[in-house]
Structure 1
Amino acid sequence: MEGYDLIGDVHGCGATLGALLETLGYHQRAGVYCHPRRRVIFLGDLIDRGPRIRLAVNIARRMVEEGEAHIVMGNHEYNALAYCHRAPRRFGREWLRAHSPRHNRIIKETLDQYRDHPGEWEDVLAWFLDIPLFLELPGLRVVHACWDQSLIDELRRTHPDGRIDEAFLEASVDPGTQAFRVLDRLTRGSHIPLPRGVEIHSGDGFTRRSFRAHFWAREPRTWGDVIFQPDNLPDDLEERSLTDTERSRLSYYGPEQRPLFIGHYWCEGIPALPAANIACLDYSAVKFGRLVAYRWSGEAHLDANHFVWIRVPPEEQARPRPWEIDFD
């Protein structure tokens, strides 16, 4: 093995995923993309929004099950599990995650594409539940949104391989539980609420009342020191000082730690390293951005020259033909 090719959020851009794998030197063998000397690590968020969700899931799942890839759970896989899981009677509602207009919109494209394949969708959900929340391999770490060592240590005490179960899933919808804190931090990262009455009208069409904060500033002082998303803060809020409470909620990943790979944050432009030992691989593929990989071959110091990407063409939005899904 020469190393790993880590691939960011696919979000249903299945045709571009196939093209990226071919660019990286992977070729189909018996319906599975393989490389003679390398393996893939998917950073989660295979589903939602894009036009070839089933294709993206099929490619990734086959690779994982045949030992050609690893994967960590993204917040969209978690959302699907909670949205489609019936709540225990004591909850007093039908579903773990409310079927609200916002939640309906997030998962709509996925459910539409699996509508004629209900058995396949149930099987995919069972696979999602078996995906670990993090990976710690020799020389590198992988998580979808945020590596919080204390929460990962707590999770390991009850779930050593990072895989959750139905009881953990059910507990995770209660903000007062440890299960909620683990899933929220590892798959969604840190969020700082905006002042009352202030909103961000995001490029993905959602209105947000908080912003995503990163976790590699050693001594952050202002909101601008930790914001990590393409949407700017309104007015002069980047100069606003972090309160002690806000600062205490932030995780920290220092430069002395091993290389870490994350997705989630829908960056834009030419891929770059936000920190010397951290690579974010989500470059807004589903918004005609880039589907990005990092070719890691054991280096302790990451190198931006190791990014490989493909721009997602507008024709990716066309609905796939049947043989693009059932490609074997």
Structure 2
Amino acid sequence: MPPAPHRTPYDAELLAGLSAVTIPAFTAENLQNARGFFPINADHLTGDGTIDHTERTFKGPESDLTISIFRPTNCKSASKGPRPCFYSIHGGGMIVGNRFAGVDEIMGWLKAFDAICVSIEYRLAPEHPDPAPIEDSYAGLLYTHEHAAELGIDPSKIILAGISAGGGLAAGLSLLARDRHGPKLLGQLLLSPMLDDRDAQYASRHQLADAVVWNLGNNKYAWESLLGKRVGGNDVSCYAAPGRAEDLSGLSPVFIDVGSADLFRDESTVFASRLLEFGVQVELHIWPGAFHWSDALVPTHPLSKSAQARRMEWLRRLLKIDS
């Protein structure tokens, strides 16, 4: 595909808000420094005393894995029984990030829905290439489902949630759980998901090659770190790159949102359209002028607040909770 002739504009106020944040370079040379950009513990989530944090370690595919478990400190009623669970997979291109990153918004969902969050610490590329991230994510989901009773989780109300690479892993995990006859999922919440290693068919990859926060160079490095020489070729699993999936049938309802000025815009919209072709219930939002992760980086902007409100509304309907 030739370079796109038109550029999608940013929202000027959102872009101005980004000036207060220093985004590291997500490159091979700066990888360790970029990993230091993310929180190393749960203090920013538990500091106000409203969220409780515990951890569990269990045997993974090749080594021990750890999950963080978050719940409101004042659970509304012990007699309510098992609670909904948000199974969180963090973003970061599968090369940076950890289980404490990108879950701030979920803490609000826990309080609103008297729910529990399980966040998986999966192994990162390039040290641990595909299939390590997806297999670790699946192992965490199995552990969560198998130990649901002792964790206080309703196994019929597990919702996958992920942003960026975490959204891609959540989409891949849904396919993997379906194909392995694993846990049945209530829904998938995919925020600006990273779904496909191929560039050619997506105009947004060319329009926004130099995009803020996450650009085409970052994206290529991340996929190469995960897939090595297989990137862009025919030998790539749909669990690693769910945008390649040929069969999207039998999946739980999906919420997708993405910015119009996000590198991942077109793969998100194409994926949503294909899900609809297979009879999957989808809600899709494209936020005008929003860039990658803008609602988290500039959370007070009206557009960010609207995006957060739409997610909450979708979750309320999915969980069948009255306003």
TM-score range, shorter chain: 0.3 to 0.5
Which of 1 and 2 has higher RCO (CA within 8 Å, sep 6+)?
A: 1
TM-score (norm 2): 0.33
